[in-house]
Amino acid sequence: MVGLFVDRFGARRVLLTGALIVMAAGIAGLFPISLDWLIGVRVVLGIGTCAGFPAAMAVLRRRAEETGQGVPARVLSLLSISAQTIMVVGPTLGGALIGLAGWPAIFAVNIPLAGFSCAFALLWVPRDAPAAGRRASIDVLGIALFALCLLALLLFLMEPDVGDLYLLGIAVVLAGAFAWNELRAARPFIDLRMLAGNAPLLRTYLRQALSFVIVYSIMFGYVQWLESARGLSESGAGALLLPMSAVAVLAAAVSGRATGIRARLITVALALTLGSVLLLFVDTGTWLGVLIGLGAIFGLAQGLTSVTNQTTLYGQAPAEQMGTASGLFRSAQYLGAIVSSTLIALCFGTHASSAGLHRLAWTLTGIGVLLLAVTVFDRGLSRGAVASRPSEAQDGRRDPQRAKA
């Protein structure tokens, strides 16, 4: 939804609004009225922070259109490195803040961060076009149907059971109503016709979702096994994941280029599949060095998949819908996280045992093979899914002679 607002009202406006929402949530979190209140504050905080990625992608695309430059692969790489670094530093920083100033500090820290974000947006993000805020009205019905459909699906995935299959039926009905509405709307929430005509973009979403099903399964499920079955402390399990995070940051740093997309994506699929297969041979007596190496394999895939899929998205999504396309891209990643949680619960049950880890490994291996097939047989990647100039098609329409050149 925030991606749609970026396309309709402009990235700068959305960034500033998101920062103000984060600041308000940070202030509200200082007042522990009740647990429900704090949960609501966390939801509001999530709404504010989700403005960052689609707005940043839209700003980059707009800048590229104006200057005629190619894909800003280095900037996309920096975005990915920042995300990987936050995943490493965030839990440690949160623990330190709680130890120093109590749990309200994890909300209070958002206040100055949001202030800095406002200042940066005002100083460096280009002003939005005057007409950006006067466009057609928002497709409220489409947003509501989409949200309700996801809610029904998520309620089922949280605790899948035969008795809850009716939730899937509700999700299907809502999905049909959503599609009917979007195909009739003058300015739909999600342009289904654009997506239907852009199969490479759909495959990018699928790759992102499949990749992060495996990545999040390792980050959450593997850690549970290290603590419950292997007997490591929380700090010990976290230390074993540090090499994974370090390799992920390094992989994102060295993959900041717009060439070699297909090779890097195949490397991601192979690494995730290989790591999943190796999990089948892990038990409570496995040498720690092997566990560290296994984490490094998953870290390689984690770092490469983030920046490479972002670069691919940049070249495949229409410039005027970059915000919405980026929002869907991030939603695909979150869907992967939700599915991973369900898989972990189904495979581990009430206790994270080695047998449960092996069941999870078999499942992840199948997902890895599917990811590899989707990547290897993607002809769009073979032809070069990312153009050297993101506005190449538009330039050709404006200047036929330039297109011929």
- pLDDT value, residue 317: 79
Which segments of 105-198 does DSSP mark as H helices, in order?
105-108, 110-124, 140-158, 165-184, 192-196
* pLDDT value, residue 32: 77
Structure tokens of 168? 């899937």
Alpha-carbon gap, residue 164 to 168, rounded angstroms: 8
321 pLDDT tier (thresholds 50, 70, 90) = confident
CATH architecture assigned to 2-138+189-392? Up-down Bundle (1.20)
Structure-block tokens of residue 190: 């999600």
Mean pLDDT within 355-376: 94
For 121-149, the pLDDT digits (tens) are 888 777 777 654 444 567 788 888 988 99
| The predicted structure's pLDDT at residue 374 | 92
Could you state, in order of their start, the residue ranges of all structural domains in the chain? 2-138+189-392, 139-188
Q: Mean pLDDT over all residues of the chain? A: 79
pLDDT single digits (tens) 84-113: 666 656 655 665 677 677 777 778 888 888
pLDDT band at 275 (very low <50, low <70, confident <90, very high): very high
On the CB side of 204, CA atoms within 13 Å amount to 28
Q: Could you tell me the pTM of the whole model?
A: 0.74
Write down the pLDDT at residue 403: 39
Identify which has the larger pLDDT, 380 or 63: 380
> Quick one: pLDDT at residue 401?
41
pLDDT above 70: percentage of residues in the chain: 80
- pLDDT for residue 259 is more than 80: no
CA angle (349, 351, 353) in 5-degree steps: 105
Question: pLDDT tier at 391 (50, 70, 90 boundaries)?
Answer: very low
| The pair of three-digit structure tokens given for residue 113, joined into one six-digit string | 């961060």
Q: Which of 124, 145, 131 is nearest to 55 (CA)?
A: 124
Is residue 25 over pLDDT 70? yes
- At residue 330, the pLDDT reads 82
pLDDT at 134: 46
pLDDT at 114: 87
Question: What is the pLDDT at residue 92?
Answer: 57
Q: pLDDT at position 272, please?
A: 95
